[in-house]
Structure 1
Amino acid sequence: MSAIAPDTLALQCLYRWEREAASRVALTQPMGGGELKDFTWAEVADQVRRMAAHLKSQGWPEGSKVAILSKNCAWWLMSDLAIWMAGYVSVPLYPTLAAETVQQILTHSEARACFIGKLDGWEGMKPGVPAGLPCISYALSPDDARKSYEGWDAIVARTAPLQGQVLRDAKELATLIYTSGTTGHPKGVMHSFGNFAWALTAALGRFPMSASDRLLSYLPLAHVVERVLVEHGWLRTGMHVFFAESLDTFNADVCRARPTIFFSVPRLWVKFQQGVLAKMPEQKLERLLRLPLIGGLVRKKLRKALGLDQCRIAAGGAAPMPVALLNWFRHIGLPVNEGYGMTENLAISNITKPGVDMTGTVGPAYDGVQLRIDPANGELLMRSPAVMLGYYKEPAMTAEVLDQEGWLHTGDKASIDAQGLVRITGRVKDLFKTSKGKYVAPAPIEDRLTMHHAVEACAVTGANLGQPVGIVMLSPDAAQRTGTEADRQQLMAQLTQHLDDINARLDPHEQLDCLILVKTPWTVDNGFITPTFKVRRNRIDEVFGPKLEAWVEERRKIIFGD
């Protein structure tokens, strides 16, 4: 690893703000009922020191694992810092996991304890927590958790703060990030303190951030992007982080924070767009935007309604961003920079440059990131000091993706043009072959399908069929409008036109035979999507695969599957 400046490591950053900005607000936490709780840097550091002292007093060996199972909140970040200050390794869990997965991760990581925090589905997850595992609750934890486990506030109140500066070396293991994964069991990605420090330095080289910036934390902190951008961006720059309260209050949360930096996954950017178009038809909006003076006022009003009127850096990632969606947001004056990365490289690989139209690509590599294309299969390979140490307890799996020269095999097919701009063209393993012997890359077709307001999520499949088919989960609004035959006919006409438009731009072997509409929500709980809204293709094939031939035999373009 290249030399890492000690003052860029996570704990050293905390000590800096404790010393230099003690009275400045660091975190703003909604407590329910409109109440907000601010934490200054002095308060953050004090609570972290006290919890670290408590954890250290348990006498576990250095490097022991301590888990965090919670939605985003101030205590999540303080727990992570306390775990590190005590000399341990943090293991964050997504707050939407099934009990079986909770148990698998806690057991596999050999977690010594677990913070049980703000959760919506605790009753379903609780059976996954091994009996006898020490747990600590937060002020916002479910009632049952607060009754069952000692609370954060009580521990902090009775524990003297750890003194001095505990320093962790850049090479030390900081965390295990268990990948949500679109197939198979999650793997524990090992990252060091130096990995995070280097990643932040690279990110700041492309997007300068400072203490005057504001962020809203709402995507799971267990996910790599939120972990790097929010947690480590906060620690490095001293910016102000706000937390979202709930889905119901999300728009108010954004408007309260008025973030200057905002990251979202494509599915949520689509929801933002659909929310706007539900209030104003697209044709009317387009007419207004074309008017010289009125257009500017409308753009400003739209951005303010979204809570993003102060946003100077907007970004998307975790899945491909449809070009039409990027163009729409640029048209309303909110250009979205598309990034590319993965848990295994701390999401630091590529991102488009601000102020430059690189639509259709994920931009050039960050400074210090090396890229090349494997001539054998077109796979994108990358290496940098942010690449993982490996998969925890899985040397064979590590060797499959990390070669002896340090190249990470991403699993994504890509091309690199003369300007160094990267286009992701699909997954190496997502390609499937129709019965005609032709390979189909589903991702680009899915990007086009999602650009209809009735489409909430979709998957293109059809291995061994004559032509591929599209399975579409209807948006809640569209699903509600299928109650009468007239509504169904109207929706079928709209989607038939959408399908025809898409097929007209595809090669013959890629053209979709039909769209199969399903109302059943694709959720994390039923296994159809990951916590970051990526569709699990194996689950799609498992549930719908046996029905595909019968549906295709109906010889209709639009089929209501359930």
Structure 2
Amino acid sequence: MPKYTATRIDEEVDIRLNDTNNKFEPTTMCKMFLNTAAKYSSIPALHYKKNGEWASYSWKEYEEKAKQFAKSLISLGFQAHDTVSISGFNSTEWFISYIGCILAGGASTGVYTTNGAQACKYVCNNSVARVVVCDGIKQLEKFMSIADQLPALKALVVWNASLPENVECAVPIYDFDAFLTIGNEIPDSTVDERIANQRPGHCASLIYTSGTTGNPKGVMLSHDNFTYTLRAVTSQFQNNLFDNTERVISYLPLSHIAGQILDIGIQIYFGLHIYFAEPDALKGSLGKTMKEVHPTFFLGVPRVYEKISEKMVEVGRGSKGIKKAIASWARRVGAQKVAMSQFHESGGKPCGYDLAKAIVFDKVRVALGLEKCKAFYSGAAPLSPEVIAFFSSLDIPIYEAMGLSETTAISFFNYPHMWKQNCLGHFLVGTNVKIDPENSELLIRGRHVMMGYINNEEGTAQALDDEGFLHTGDCASLDSDGFGYITGRLKELIITAGGENVPPVLIENVIKEELPLLGNVMVIGDKRKFLSAIFTLRVTVDEHGEPTDKLDNEAKYLLSQIGSEATTVGDAIVDPKIKVYLDSGLKRANARATSRAQNVQKYIFVTKDFSVPGGELTPTLKIKRNVVAKMYEAEIDAMYVV
């Protein structure tokens, strides 16, 4: 009897082969990495900044350092199927630790840098971490404070920091470079044996879910989950889109599956070049890195595209006369071109496209550092139709992709030759997909579906049914071409007092489209007589990512259009002009609702925008609805007082 699921990290699962996925021979991450390292030995692999200038490690150096890391783990008594936790911004040390752990026969675990000490303690104990590798003194101090509560821990390793002197800790602390030397006495053959003993059905990585409710679950992903997904998703690109000359900027959190599959996974499959962004990439420096690197493939979370579009709109407002007219004409042409390139459309170029490209589109790409980019992708959360339309008007189609940690990052994927706007894409090749007729839940089965949740038999049994289908928790629909559309989350569905099922995310997105002044919207109404909402305004953030009370430039511009001089949240909340603006926009949003039960009848402002540091958002920027509801319980109840 085949065994396709597991909850213990030392278990092996069978590979779920069928007629549509068996052309990809099961293999391990180790073999894929070593084959690529041998093929491109002298070619740069990891590019990083040193004293303000770009430097690099070749594939040979990358392999050597990863093997050194593996030897050092083994010298500490690290066994096959043990784990290493890594917490820090994307760097050579992150990659070396991750691959080194796998070469030693273990499984790597990313820990979000935004996690507090107790959340870190939970992840490390749940995964039985033997070594923690961390970035900087702040992260080190956090793990030092809980080291005595981690019975399996053997060492802390830190990069990007000087070791503190005369500090007591429950385990030894090593500088990263020094750690690489402690296993020098371990023979190469010991690492080779660990590599040879690994099977495609063994666990390679643990991804901890965001934990919107309760403790996060540790998703066990096998070697085959990774190596199959990498080959399956890229096999559908036409014209050999990827090769070892591609340039990718690494900036998305590597604790998240999207960063691991793109930055680490696709690199070791194709041998392409990784450039590490600055730690403040999402606070403004990413644009500078893009202009230096000229990436050939770009994946951005929605907020990245939103920031780019906001800045470009702000700059464009200064255009006057003929310059503005030309830009408007070109954008109409660009939107036509992108629309024509969709699946089942005519393709080709609209009249005037070549001229528009030469005088507008090419210059925009050069200004962004994206003139070499072959494809633009968005993932992790839905991208608003407004932002998609903006980039389309500049002849930049943004292809959306959708996946879960439990599906190794990919469930649906758009391709330049096979895509639809405002759509998740086509389901992954070799995948069985169906929609539950009773509740519209998306069910997925395939080689990319996880082994199970570590040390969590109940959660695994709830997620994976007897037929091997993953119950995603997403409500979805499929069109006749196999393209997917998410309509909501089962656990987020609001069931009103009248028994109506309401998907809040769709309503929230419509409200934000009609009211671009808003930063976040959360719809409320479970077991209530009507729907209400919490609104936050667009504001700036400080150097720590904390929202301020100052409205951002886009908010101030929007307010100037309605005659408001508000510059802070406090000013805005009491301004009657803003009340009129919000009421009018909400009325338009309600007019787009599918039923009257989905109309939002009341709303409140909260003075602080939602954020990761504030606890209202997960690291992947999903609203923690239970947290927000608890924070504003009194204000919410007041909306329902008759």
TM-score normalised to the size of structure 1?
Answer: 0.91
In structure 1, the gaps of 5 or more residues are: 555-562
Query: Are 2:547 and 1:472 equivalent residues in the alignment?
Result: no
Q: Secondary structure at the match of 1:450?
A: helix
User: 1:56 is matched with which residue?
Assistant: 74
Shift of residue 136, structure 1, vs aligned partner: 4.1
| Aligned equivalents of 1:136, 1:37: Cα separation in 2 | 27
Find the counterpart in structure 2 of residue 501 from structure 1.
588
Alpha carbons 1:4, 1:170 under 8 Å: kept: no
- Asked if 1:290 is matched to 2:329, the reply is yes
| Cα distance in 2 between the residues matched to 1:384 and 1:365 | 11
Conserved 8 A contact 1:465-1:549:
no
SS in 1 for 2:388: helix
Residue 78 of structure 1 deviates from its aligned partner by 0.7
Report the Cα offset of residue 141 of structure 1.
4.0
User: Which deviates the most, 171-180 or 140-149?
Assistant: 140-149
- Contact 2:157–2:179 (CA under 8 A) maintained in structure 1: no
1:162 & 1:57 partners in 2: Cα distance?
10
Structure-2 separation of matches of 1:520 and 1:415 = 35
- The equivalent of 1:270 in structure 2 is 306
Shift of 1:322: 2.0
Give the corresponding residue for 2:45.
Answer: 26
| Cα distance between partner residues in 1 of 2:148 and 2:363 | 51
1:303 maps to 365
Give the letter for the 1:470 counterpart: A
Q: Is the 8 A contact 2:207 2:405 kept in 1?
A: yes
Q: Is the 8 A contact 1:71 1:117 kept in 2?
A: yes
- TM-aligned CA distance change 1:222 to 1:62, over 3 Å: same
Measure, in 2, the Cα distance between the counterparts of 1:479 and 1:488: 15
What is the aligned partner in structure 2 of residue 188 from structure 1?
A: 218
Tell me how far apart the structure 2 counterparts of residues 304 and 351 of structure 1 sit (CA, whole Å).
27
SS at match of 2:34: helix
Counterpart Cα distance in 2 of 1:331 and 1:184: 42
Q: How does 1:454-533 map to 2 (within 5 A)?
A: 454-477=517-540, 479-480=550-551, 481-482=567-568, 484=571, 488-506=575-593, 507-533=595-621
Inter-partner Cα distance in structure 2 for 1:307 and 1:276 = 14
Question: Deviation of residue 467 (structure 1)?
Answer: 2.7
Alignment-derived partner of residue 249 in structure 2: 216
Distance across 2 between alignment mates of 1:532 and 1:145: 36
- Give yes or no for contact 2:85–2:124 (8 Å, CA) kept in 1: yes
Query: 2:264 aligned with 1:231, yes or no?
Result: yes
Q: Distance in 1 between matches of 2:53 and 2:424?
A: 40
1:368 lines up with 2:430 in the alignment: yes
Confirm or deny: 8 A CA contact 1:412 1:425 kept in the other structure.
Answer: yes
Q: For residue 179 of structure 1, what is the aligned residue in structure 2? A: 209
Matches of 2:204 and 2:91 in 1, distance apart? 20
Q: CA deviation at 1:484?
A: 4.2
Q: Which residue of 2 aligns with 1:243?
A: 276
Matched ranges for 1:94-493 at <5 A: 94-118=112-136, 123=141, 126-130=144-148, 133-141=153-161, 144=164, 149-157=173-181, 159-160=183-184, 163=188, 165=192, 166-167=195-196, 168-207=198-237, 208-247=241-280, 248-281=284-317, 288-291=327-330, 293=355, 297-451=359-513, 452-477=515-540, 479-480=550-551, 481-482=567-568, 484=571, 488-493=575-580
Evaluate the alpha carbon distance shift between residue 308 and residue 384 of structure 1 in structure 2; reply closer, same or farther with a 3 A threshold.
same
Secondary structure at the aligned position of 2:491 is classed as coil
Cα distance in 1, alignment partners of residues 507 and 408 from structure 2: 27
Q: Distance in 1 between matches of 2:620 and 2:162?
A: 23
In structure 1, what is the Cα distance between the partners aligned to 2:631 and 2:573? 29
Of residues 607, 621, 633, the one that matches 1:545 is 633
Residues 295 and 511 from structure 1, CA distance in 2 versus in 1: closer, same or farther, beyond 3 angstroms? farther
CA distance in 1, matches of 2:362, 2:599: 40
AA aligned to 1:113 is V
Deviations 1:237-291 (A, max 9, x none): 0000011112242221222222111112223222222222232239976861314
Q: Which residue of 1 aligns with 2:347?
A: none
Q: Cα–Cα, structure 1 residues 221 and 431, in superposed 2: closer, same or farther, change >3 Å?
A: same
Deviations 1:455-505 (A, max 9, x none): 333222222443322322322158432354699445444433332321221
Partner of 1:534: 622
Instruction: Give unpaired runs (5+ residues) of structure 2.
Output: 1-14, 331-351, 541-548, 552-566
Shift of 1:437: 3.5
Q: Percent identity?
A: 28
Aligned residue type for 1:235: I
CA contact (8 A) 1:345 1:388 kept: yes
Instruction: Say whether residues 1:11 and 2:30 are aligned partners.
Output: yes
Checking the alignment, whether the CA contact within 8 Å between 1:7 and 1:13 is kept in structure 2 is no
User: Partner of 1:429: helix, strand, or coil?
Assistant: helix
Report the CA distance shift for 1:7/1:50 in structure 2 as closer, same or farther (over 3 A). Answer: farther
In angstroms, what is the RMSD of aligned CA positions?
Answer: 2.8
Shift of the alpha carbon at 1:181? 2.8
Relative to 1, partners in 2 of residues 1:433 and 1:19: Cα closer, same or farther, differing over 3 Å? closer
Match of 1:81 in 2: 99
Q: Which residue of 2 aligns with 1:557?
A: none
Distance verdict in 2 for CA 1:449–1:128, change over 3 Å: farther
Larger radius of gyration: 2
C-alpha contact 2:36 2:270 (8 A) present in aligned 1: no
- CA contact under 8 A between 2:414 and 2:426: conserved in structure 1? yes
Code of the residue aligned with 1:170 in structure 2: it is P
Alignment-mate amino acid for residue 411 of structure 1: G
Structure 1, 211-220 or 510-519: larger mean CA deviation: 510-519
Residues 1:250 and 1:21: Cα distance change in structure 2 (over 3 Å): same
* Contact 2:26-2:224 at 8 Å conserved across structures: no
Q: 1:470 to 1:370 in 2, by over 3 A?
A: same
Q: For residue 459 of structure 2, what is the amino acid of its counterpart? A: M
The alpha-carbon deviation at position 154 of structure 1 amounts to 1.6
Going from structure 1 to structure 2, the CA distance change for 1:159 and 1:485 (only over 3 Å counts) comes to closer
Q: 1:188 to 1:128 in 2, by over 3 A?
A: same
Q: Kindly tell me: are residues 42 and 526 of structure 1, through their superposed partners in 2, closer, same or farther at Cα, counting changes over 3 Å?
A: same
Query: CA 1:277 to 1:113, structure 2 compared with 1: closer, same or farther past 3 Å?
Result: same
Residues 256 and 518 of structure 1, relative CA distance in 2, 3 Å threshold: farther
**In structure 2, what is the Cα distance between the partners aligned to 1:276 and 1:162?**
56
Cα deviation, 1:411-432, whole Å, max 9, x if unaligned, reads 1111112111211111112111
- Shift of the alpha carbon at 1:446? 1.7
Q: Is the 8 A contact 2:72 2:181 kept in 1?
A: no
**Residue deviations 1:392-419 (CA, integer Å, cap 9, x gap):** 1111111101011100001111111211
Counterpart Cα distance in 1 of 2:572 and 2:509: 29
Give 3-state SS (helix, strand or coil) of 2:260's partner: helix
Is the 1:137–1:152 Cα contact (8 Å) retained in structure 2? yes
- How far residue 185 of structure 1 moved from its aligned partner, in angstroms, is 0.8
